[in-house]
A and B are shown apart, each in its own frame.
Chain A
Amino acid sequence: MKENTNTARALLLPALVAAIFIALWTAIWRAGVFHQSAFPSPLAVVRGFGLEVATGRLLNDSVTSLFRVTCGFLLAVALGIPAGVWMGQKLSARLAFLPMTNFFRNLSPLAWMPFAILWFGVGDAAAMFLIFLSVFFPVVLATMAAVGTIPLVYFHVAQNYGLRRFEKLTRVTLPAIMPQVITTLRVTAGVAWLVDVAAEMIAGRDGLGFAVMDARNGLRTDLLVVEMIVIGIIGVLIDRLLVQLTNVPSVRWGYER
């Protein structure tokens, strides 16, 4: 009974907030606070949505953007985790590379934009390059830190039970850092999505970021809002997808202590 009311509340309350938001939006539009060309009505956005879906452009742009973010993200993770493990285990590697890694971690990937365009031209590769930079360095640092906090006792156990070097990696180090790595993946996937949109706005000929700029250039504020809504929803869905990783039984321990 209690659970039912809670489920109902979890659906009703956000719906109520959304309704109030749309009502406010409509009120501001009706009051004419902003010029009509600078402020679309909710209805115009719904019509714009229908148009974008019908022409297939919305789907195309979404797929393009998701493709870029997926490739850039996966490549950064595939290289970042091994690099982080290496730096976490080897003091000399850490001493050598940590300052540089920190530097690039704190350098906005968007600052690379001019070079990205010069080197890779306008298109997939430039966006992927920027996404890679935005994910790789945080993943390296988080993985390295996670390796550093693995309790020594697990390695003693590994030695006691005769685990060899490679097994220590696969059966102790990697499972021990997995909860923290997953948290980092969630954060960096969000960043990657932000960077992708920004990259496409400047260095794109397609994708949702480009669609935003295109709508602006065409003074189609209705389409602009359509793109914004889709960008936001996809961002939420990416996080929902990655949050599933935290439900894998062998990593739950990291979130329940």
Chain B
Amino acid sequence: MTGCLELTNVSVSFEAVEVIRELSLAIVQGEFVAVVGPSGCGKTTLLNLVAGFERPSSGSVECHGQVRMVYQEDGLFPWATVTENIALGLRHIGDRRERKRQIGDLLRLIRIEGFEHHYPRQLSGGMRQLVELARALAGGSDVLLMDEPFSALDYLTRLRMRNELARLLSEMPRTAVLVTHDIEEAAQLADRVVVLTQRPARIRHEFTISTPRPREPTDFAVVDAVRRILAELDVESGTEASTK
């Protein structure tokens, strides 16, 4: 089925460094999974596996459908305008008028009409991430991978971007995998939060948050999930180094 992905007993080593050890994770279509864990534990490697940029040393990665990745910053081509960047996601649409119409729809969806011909450097950090999201969602992609997409933004912008992401996904549902350091962000956005161990990464714990999306950061379910995740990471008792 398109949009579902499955990692089975995946291990990854770069030369002598073992990054991921026998990790299994199945994600169903439309599910939103957040991955949190210590710095450098292999979260980005996990996304690169799903995106096909890297291959596992052993185990299998199965991923059905069109996968698109959103980066922390500078994922947009700086030499291309907002329109040209979004059009990258619509390359397979042969009809020019149809392509133009869809670009217009996406620009309206992320509410940045008037900036069509601006370059990324002329946009705020939040707007850049919105354009990148639009590019990734364009053209009926199936899986949205996000590598700390909001971590370069200030706290209030980050809160707003969470709402924007939730809104975009309600309009254009996708299977989503979000790698983040921000546990509150994970708890607010995801159906399931996967906590990884120190490198080599294995799954340390999974939390399911069954309250339907979208949620507010102050909702009980979110606050409660944050508390549970922090407890799992031993952060509240202060026995382990923070996750950054």
Chain A residues near B (Cβ < 8 Å): 151, 153-154, 156-157, 159-162, 171-172, 175-176, 178, 249-254, 256-257
Contacts and interface: CB of A to CB of B under 8 A. Distances in A.
Contacts of B92: 162
B77 interface: yes
A249 B52 contact: no
Interface residues of B, number: 21
A254 B88 CA distance: 21
Interface string B197-215: 0000000000000000000
A162 B53 contact: no
Contacts of B68: 160-161
B78 interface: yes
Given A252-B119, A256-B121, A257-B121, A161 B77 contact: no
B71 interface: yes
B74 A153 contact: yes
A253 B120 contact: yes
Contacts, number: 48
Nearest to A161: B88
Given A156-B51, A159-B52, A161-B91, A175 B77 contact: yes
A157 B77 CA distance: 9
B222 interface: no
B75 interface: yes
B119 A249 contact: yes
A154 B89 CA distance: 14
B174 to A, nearest CB: 14
B79 interface: yes
Contacts of B75: 153, 157
A250 B53 contact: no
A175 B77 CA distance: 9
Contact of B79 (A161, A251, A256, A257): A251
Given A153-B71, A253-B121, A257-B121, A159 B79 contact: no
A33 B9 CA distance: 89
B69 interface: yes
A172 B89 CA distance: 15
A251 B80 CA distance: 9
A176 B68 CA distance: 21
Interface string B118-130: 0111000000000
A156 B69 contact: yes
Given A156-B69, A251-B79, A162 B91 contact: yes
Contact of B78 (A156, A159, A162, A253): A253
A253 B77 CA distance: 10
B230 interface: no
Given A160-B69, A252-B121, 16 more contacts: A153-B71, A154-B77, A156-B48, A157-B75, A160-B51, A160-B67, A161-B68, A161-B89, A162-B92, A171-B77, A172-B77, A175-B77, A175-B79, A176-B79, A178-B79, A249-B119
A159 B121 contact: no
A172 B48 CA distance: 20
Contacts of A157: 69, 71, 75, 77, 88
16 contacts: A153-B75, A157-B77, A157-B88, A160-B51, A160-B67, A161-B68, A161-B88, A162-B92, A171-B77, A178-B79, A249-B119, A250-B79, A250-B119, A252-B121, A253-B78, A253-B120
A172 B76 CA distance: 11
Nearest to B51: A160
